[in-house]
Amino acid sequence: MSQPAAPKGSWKDLRSLIRGEEPHLLVAFGLTVLAAISELIPYGILWLSVQTHDPAKALVPLAGLLLLALLVKYALLTGGGYFSHLVAFRVLYQTRIRLAHALSRLPLLTLNRYSSAELRNTVLNDVERLENFIAHHSVDIVSALLSPLVAALFLFWLDWQLALAALVTIPLAIIAQKVATRGMQARIAAYQ
């Protein structure tokens, strides 16, 4: 089956697919937000290590705190991933059930226009794309937006001049990404 352009109501359709799963998705987002905030803890520990009067005595406790902070961060990320995957797999299951019921009600003459491979691709592979967005991209977007913001706020708290110098690199990174991904749409289309 050919891939039509995404309809204007795509977000509305996505919201209808996840209906009933919002609490789990909110938990996933909440844990991801906490994980992004917890990324600052190691920098705070590093700051404490510089402020200490006897680094030799503080090294083991600070290393323990650093290990604990990293474990908390990854536990929060794992929890967020668990809940986002829970939502994604429930949505996949329900969507495939609905598709199977819809296909079973179609006249055979309509189904004969498509090969079994095309129908299988739609039910399995096309629906599988939802999993990537719901389980991975949704929480990754939250983390990708929040992590730099939290880091920038922390830098401004430490030293506003250092923060401005760090933010100057953002336009350079955007330009580098544009150059690196130039022509990618055509390659993806050829691959598909």
Domains and CATH numbers, the chain: 10-158 (1.20.1560.10), 160-192 (no CATH)
Instruction: Tell me, yes or no, if the pTM score tops 0.75.
Output: no
- Cβ distance 18 to 87 under 8 Å? yes
- Report pLDDT for 67: 92
Output the six-digit token pair for 172: 């350079």
- Report pLDDT for 8: 55
- Report pLDDT for 82: 94
Q: Where does 132-168 have alpha helices with state H?
A: 138-158, 160-167
Output the six-digit token pair for 122: 């739609």
Mean pLDDT of successive 10-residue segments in the chain (192 residues)?
52 75 89 89 83 80 90 93 91 86 83 79 77 84 86 85 88 91 84 77
Q: Is 84 exposed, middle or buried (0-12, 13-18, 19+ CB in 10 A)?
A: buried
How far is Cα 38 from Cα 75, in angstroms, rounded to an integer? 11
HSE of 189 in the Cβ direction (CA atoms, 13 Å)?
A: 6
- Report pLDDT for 120: 78
- Report pLDDT for 7: 52
